[in-house]
Amino acid sequence: MAFQVCPQQPFEEIDGVWISDEVGTEFTCPRADHVTPGPFTWFSSPPPPPGTDLSGIAEELGLGVELPAVLKQFAGTWVEYGVVERAYALANPKDWAFLMDRYSHSAVAPKRYTVSAFLAATLGNLERTGVVAFHSGPATGRWSYNGSISYWALPPAPDWVDRQSWADSGQPLDYVPGKTKD
């Protein structure tokens, strides 16, 4: 069985529960003393199938091309996940609407697996194949309660001082792509 260390309780090793090939493994730290009181849950995306970059919906939507295209707008910069999500939604409104219908968003209603989890898992798969680069950094947007969040860039990895956070973007914290006008 897979285990990970809780990102908010570094001494807690948490056993994961396999959910599906699309979702991956779910981890829940039962301790109550997280940034947001109560248990903390996160997902670890499954590896891409051997010999392919992506599969399923990610492949059908061309996310192996579309997500790097979004990051190309920020060339030479680490980009906080929420900024990537917003840029993808604006560049691909029909695909974003499909993903929102399928997965929803935590800003719309609490849900176990959201469009954010799906896109972040897809970025994780692209990172494992060297298409994008990953760095953990301070969470400044909707997920600031996590303390840290993923930042993404195109290789070669830029200097960490070159980054675009949600706070730097000037967007409101309650913004939900596809639900408000830009």
Residue 174's CATH number: 1.10.10
* Together in a domain, 77 and 165: yes
* Together in a domain, 24 and 59: no
* Together in a domain, 38 and 57: no
Cα of first residue to Cα of last residue in the chain, in angstroms, is 44
Provide the domain count of the chain. Answer: 2
| Six token digits for residue 11 | 């001494």
| Six token digits for residue 119 | 């896109």
* Together in a domain, 139 and 109: yes
* Together in a domain, 12 and 58: no
* Together in a domain, 58 and 13: no
Q: What is the pTM of this model?
A: 0.69
For the chain, 182 residues long, give each residue's pLDDT as a single digit of tens.
567 887 777 777 888 888 776 677 888 888 888 777 888 887 776 655 444 456 688 888 999 899 999 999 999 999 999 899 999 999 999 998 899 888 866 655 565 668 888 898 899 889 988 899 999 999 898 777 777 889 999 999 999 999 999 888 888 777 666 654 44
* Together in a domain, 120 and 101: yes
168 to 65, 78, 79: CA distances (angstroms): 26, 12, 10
* Together in a domain, 178 and 109: yes
Name the DSSP letter for residue 15: E
Contacts of 67 by beta carbon, 8 Å cutoff, 6+ apart: 84, 88, 119, 122, 123, 126, 132
* Size (the chain), residues: 182
Range of the domain at 20: 1-44
* Together in a domain, 17 and 70: no
